[in-house]
Structure 1
Amino acid sequence: MLDKIKGGLFGVAIGDALGGTTEFMSEREIKNKYGQLTDIIGGGVWQLSPGEVTDDTAMTLCVAKGIIQYPDDPIPHMGEEFLSWYAQKPKDVGIIISQVLTTYKDNWEEAAKEVHHRLSGKSAGNGSLMRCLPIPLAYSDQKKMEELTIRHSKMTHYDDLASDACLIYNRIASRLLNGDELAVSLREETAGTLYEEALTSEPDCLPDGFVVHTMKWVVHILSNRKTFEEVAVAAANKGHDTDTVAAIACGLKGIETGYGQLPERFKEKILIQEELSQVAADLAEIRRNRQ
């Protein structure tokens, strides 16, 4: 179980660090500059160091640390972690999340609702989907996992499309942790949803920050690439919100693959290996203690 949990967290970080190089570039621009990006080299719009991660991994760790601090009701602690991270003036913060963090007073959902209306109802970004993986890693109880997944998404993203995508994603993660195959989990959890067609057909949208578009590409890439490396490289070379699409896709693929089988050349580049390993161990312990 620890190997799977650690694989999921490192998967997020690897996808984030690889895709961070090509974020906001088009697929054509990536091809013209890199041919195909296959290594974690840093650079890009954020001028990343090789192996440096962005908000995707940082906020995933915020969620994880909130859970570790108080597993029975981690939402307030997640919020404290979000605010602490934001106070450090990180390089990359999504528009919706930034507005919610500066609007928040004492009620997360009220802040998210206010921003939702301020943005004319356009709060279905992928910012809660990118960070939600620690919840199924820590909670084997399906009811608790799903309740926290929704509440956690509503902290910043008021639109139900965001929490619905998080639910599907975390249900797939739970199944992988319980030994189900990724292909079966994808097929059964997307059946009858907006994402079912993406299993077999390339999405007719860009892999941008709209959560529906992001999730469609995640489902498609996971359904049509075999290895972890193929998933990571495919996501990082599609362009647009590459770090987030790659982080989300590689999180699930990392659980399936397991930490021990992740490519060494990716793992050794990540700058926060020790922190990720410790958080994985803490989440695994919480999962054991709550079973």
Structure 2
Amino acid sequence: MDGQDRVRGCLLGGAIGDALGAPIEFQSLREIRKHHGTDGISGYVADWRGKTGLITDDTQMTLFTVEGLVRADHANGSPAAGAGDAPVVEAVREAYLRWLDTQSHHASPPADLPHRTGRLREEGWLYSRRAPGNACLSGLHRHFPGPAPLGEPGPVNPDSKGCGTVMRSAPFGLVRAASDPRAAFETAAACAQITHGHPTGYLAAGAFAAIIAYLMSGEALEPAVHRALELLAGYPAHEETTAALRAALELGGPPSPERVESLGGAWVAEEALAIGVYCALAETSVERALLLSVNHSGDSDSTGSVCGNLLGTLHGAAALPPAWLRPLEGRDTIERLAAELA
């Protein structure tokens, strides 16, 4: 399997998991079972608009992360994953501001786009507001002087550790410096501070990017998580993220929604990461793992997205269920961005 297939798999897998979980994000497990049976959903279900296969802010922000990294690479003429490199952080922040524009003012691209225009900014389907996280929105409205040293509170929303850091951070592990997981970790953590300043929030993003980087280099998932834990231990304030990942690794017994829920609700970063990792490890089938990752009472689209990123990187795009790829919103755009990043 080549790197390009892993990149495609990561971005498409994350989008599939996001689209699976979106319609049931705010439903309890009891409600999911009431509406869809004991096993929960078994594929895409219609949202309140009667539509299926629609992505959320998780995939939107992931795509803008990709655009920021690609722009930084083109501008610098070098791989876009230096360890917290200021031009890379600024390029990613500018991309997030373009995402913010799509969420703030218009229902479609305006005739006269502002100076931050990028190709994604011109995609009309991205202008749908899909329950974006409050910290992501508020953080982007604030001045960002640059990231704090890792382990210290960041300058923006210093008490926020929401899952909005993790769900957008897989691309940092995909860039050409994936042979240096520490650089992927530190760049993801620095860029997470653009909106979330709690150390657990941004260190969880760093750990996720490092896991993706190890998978890109050919590691199996469990060893990749262990190696990311070794990296994580070198930073102050790692304890919450470390505990969550260790809980995911140590959770035994047959996979079930109840075991998923024992890891938390995934509204915070370390829990979303732990659930995504657990589900990707607990099931041998990509399809079953993705369904496990969304059939629970917590933040189903974020855990589905994280699990899909992991599985897609591990197995490549060919392993993703074709029935879920065909109706996926924005698939052509995701494929184009995957090619640019690869």
Using the size of structure 2 for normalisation, the TM-score is 0.75
Paired residue for 1:163? 202
Q: SS at 1:131's partner residue?
A: coil
Paired residue for 2:249? 199
Post-superposition shift, 1:205? 4.4
Q: What per-residue deviation string (whole Å, max 9, x for no partner) do you get for residues 61-109 of structure 1?
A: 111000111124332222222222222222321011121122x235365
- Structure number with greater CO (CA < 8 Å, separation at least 6) is 1
Would you say how many aligned residue pairs link Structure 1 and Structure 2? 276
1:78 aligns with 2:92: yes
Match of 2:326 among 254, 268, 285: 268
- Unpaired segments of 5 or more residues in structure 2? 77-86, 104-128, 234-241, 252-258
**Amino acid aligned to 1:129:** V
Paired residue for 1:211? 269
Paired residues of 1:20 and 1:48 also in contact (CA < 8 A): no
Identity of aligned residues (%): 23
Superposed counterparts of 1:86-97, under 5 Å = 86-89=100-103, 90-97=129-136
Paired residues of 2:205 and 2:269 also in contact (CA < 8 A): no
d(CA) in 2 for partners of 1:150, 1:216: 17
Q: SS at 1:252's partner residue?
A: helix
d(CA) in 2 for partners of 1:183, 1:34: 32
Which has the larger Rg?
2
Superposed counterparts of 1:90-239, under 5 Å = 90-102=129-141, 104-105=142-143, 107=145, 109=147, 113-116=155-158, 121=159, 123-138=160-175, 139-142=177-180, 143-190=182-229, 193-194=242-243, 195-201=245-251, 202=259, 204-239=262-297
Post-superposition shift, 1:276? 0.7
> Structure 1 residues 48 and 168 mapped into 2: Cα distance closer, same or farther (>3 Å)?
farther
Q: SS at 2:41's partner residue?
A: coil
Q: What per-residue deviation string (whole Å, max 9, x for no partner) do you get for residues 216-270 of structure 1?
A: 2222212211121111101111122000011011101111121112110011111
d(CA) in 1 for partners of 2:143, 2:155: 13
Q: SS at 1:179's partner residue?
A: coil
Using the size of structure 1 for normalisation, the TM-score is 0.88
Superposed counterparts of 1:16-35, under 5 Å = 16-35=18-37
**Amino acid aligned to 1:133:** A
Q: What per-residue deviation string (whole Å, max 9, x for no partner) do you get for residues 123-181 of structure 1?
A: 01111110011111113241432331121111111111022212221221111111111
Q: SS at 2:32's partner residue?
A: helix
d(CA) in 2 for partners of 1:215, 1:91: 21
Q: SS at 2:225's partner residue?
A: helix
Paired residues of 1:125 and 1:209 also in contact (CA < 8 A): yes
Paired residue for 1:40? 44
d(CA) in 2 for partners of 1:166, 1:29: 30
RMSD: 2.1
Post-superposition shift, 1:34? 1.1
1:59 aligns with 2:101: no
Q: Which has the higher helix share?
A: 1
Paired residues of 2:166 and 2:272 also in contact (CA < 8 A): no
Paired residues of 2:9 and 2:313 also in contact (CA < 8 A): yes
d(CA) in 2 for partners of 1:106, 1:187: 33
Q: What per-residue deviation string (whole Å, max 9, x for no partner) do you get for residues 20-54 of structure 1?
A: 0110111111011112212123305xx47312110
Q: SS at 1:158's partner residue?
A: coil
Paired residue for 1:3? 5
Paired residue for 1:250? 308
- Unpaired segments of 5 or more residues in structure 1? 285-291
d(CA) in 1 for partners of 2:328, 2:55: 8
